[in-house]
Structure 1
């Protein structure tokens, strides 16, 4: 398998990245959706920045080929196709964002249990970004805290390798899963996304308010950006803004747009701070 040529259009590529020789057959199938036996596509949901009153990024959310819910696709993923699916997701999300003309960062979910050697598996993303002229520092790889990863240090090493290559990293659904504070002690991502169950009715729940404020303070000390996800009401938005969170995602601002860019009404950003 030949090494990837150094890209000429994207200064964000790491010049010391050289794909390894003699890797397993799966690498040759990276990004080939037809090998999966099923089709899928993407919807994109904006993450907004209340301070800038603009879109901060777009999360790529897997959908069926006609816009069906994520579970219609994820239910078909198994141990036999997990690796190919993970690789195909990266290619399709980057390709779709490029074709839509998205200029902001794109956040792509990945499956840590589908990765066996990060410096090898990452080659598909590098090649997709090169082909579609998408800057590496505009790609965010996010993993849900709910993913059960048996080897915490190994998982942290994956995230470090992604960061080394120029990608940003995020932990999704923070506060709901298996990793929690232990993961933060092993690796500090660029972003954490607070789980929507902590956000729901946070404006009226003192316990959730205390947890959110603590997370904001912790992340500030660790230089980690915080995104609150699942915002549905102006009251939730206003409390979170007052608590120091200005990056938000949820139906209040925009629902995921299938194969398109969702438009955000500026009035939904609330009063200027």
Structure 2
């Protein structure tokens, strides 16, 4: 007869219950002796080959870890599998902090897949403003999660990377941002001639069927799409080519977060962007930092000679705005002008006044 095992216990696993001992140290000594005895034992196969044995185990303590037997078994099982995932052949004790972290990570993965399956995403829109007159030139679509525990884009993208779901994020971003734009257009909440900047994952692109479906639904919008590629991503030439060749797409790119990545020049050459978005680390306090001013002046000169437009993003103060206007940037973005929102907001009157005042005195 084959032995029967409790639910959750496989054929090479067993539970040991130690009781009647005066201290945990006594039990630890017994377990060390057991582990040593097993490691010094080998099974001899019919071929004559010897197969060494190893023992992997997990320990939970009563009453420190729990007073419930089923919970103690679950905790010991968790500790054992931490051994199996790392380096087999030893016994470790239950770690509540590690268990809690693991449980949280498991729950976050479950929520992430729920978000994907049910498309629980909202796209906030932040205006990109003309430095010439303060009018709205474009909107950037910014992803947000709709679950309380999972809202931030960086969390979502990290999980997508770990779960190998980056393609799904790319597809959803393309379709859902366009859907929102189309809704704003049909309800007259935007003019309709604004460009739509969409954050794209450098290594991902829509497949043929997805591209065809996109064209069928949003062909009216495609000439207004600008694909943003972050400088922090390594350029993927195949993916860039596929993005450029998407049916109906104008092939317009923006290089996002310029100045934060590992190879500014390489990304500029590979991407050949129509727009360069200066990273907020360059823009922050630019009004009082001559070195940052010189960097922007150089980038503006490079871009304008090649027909590229410069976007200063992350603007938060009138002084920063005034300084980038003086440095001849083309487009503006940041909380001082307008915060991202589910429904596009107008540009703040204060920022428009700064722009108008600057242009009036320039003339």
Correspondence for 2:224: 138
Aligned in 2, Cα 1:140/1:173: closer, same or farther, shift over 3 Å? same
| Counterparts of 1:191 and 1:162, CA distance in 2 | 19
Which has the higher mean CA deviation after the structures are superposed, 155-164 or 104-113? 155-164
Correspondence for 1:19: none
How large is the RMSD of aligned CA atoms in angstroms? 2.5
Which has the higher mean CA deviation after the structures are superposed, 212-221 or 51-60? 51-60
Correspondence for 1:176: 260
Which structure 2 residues correspond to residues 162-241 of structure 1 after superposition, within 5 A?
165-241=249-325
The gaps in structure 1 that reach 5 residues or longer are 1-32
TM-score by length of 1: 0.77
Correspondence for 1:40: 121
Correspondence for 1:62: 143
TM-score by length of 2: 0.59
| Counterparts of 1:141 and 1:110, CA distance in 2 | 6
Correspondence for 2:19: none
| Counterparts of 1:157 and 1:133, CA distance in 2 | 20
**Does the 8 A contact of 1:109 with 1:143 survive in 2?**
yes
Q: Name the structure with the higher helix share.
A: 2
| Counterparts of 1:265 and 1:74, CA distance in 2 | 31
Aligned in 2, Cα 1:36/1:140: closer, same or farther, shift over 3 Å? same
Pick aligned residue for 1:87 from 153, 171, 191: 171
* Number of residues of Structure 1 aligned to a counterpart in Structure 2: 234
Pick aligned residue for 2:202 from 112, 117, 126: 112
Correspondence for 1:264: 347
Aligned in 2, Cα 1:38/1:126: closer, same or farther, shift over 3 Å? closer
Secondary structure (helix, strand or coil) at the match of 2:160 reads coil
Aligned in 2, Cα 1:85/1:114: closer, same or farther, shift over 3 Å? same
Q: Which has the larger radius of gyration?
A: 2
| Counterparts of 2:290 and 2:134, CA distance in 1 | 28
Q: What is the Cα deviation at residue 41 of structure 1?
A: 1.4
Secondary structure (helix, strand or coil) at the match of 1:263 reads coil
The gaps in structure 2 that reach 5 residues or longer are 1-113
Give the structure, 1 or 2, with the largest relative contact order (CA under 8 Å, sep 6 or more): 1
Which has the higher mean CA deviation after the structures are superposed, 214-223 or 185-194? 185-194
| Counterparts of 2:334 and 2:115, CA distance in 1 | 32
For each residue in 1:159-187, what CA deviation from the matched residue of structure 2 results, as whole angstroms up to 9, or x when unmatched? Answer: 64369831421010011102311222234
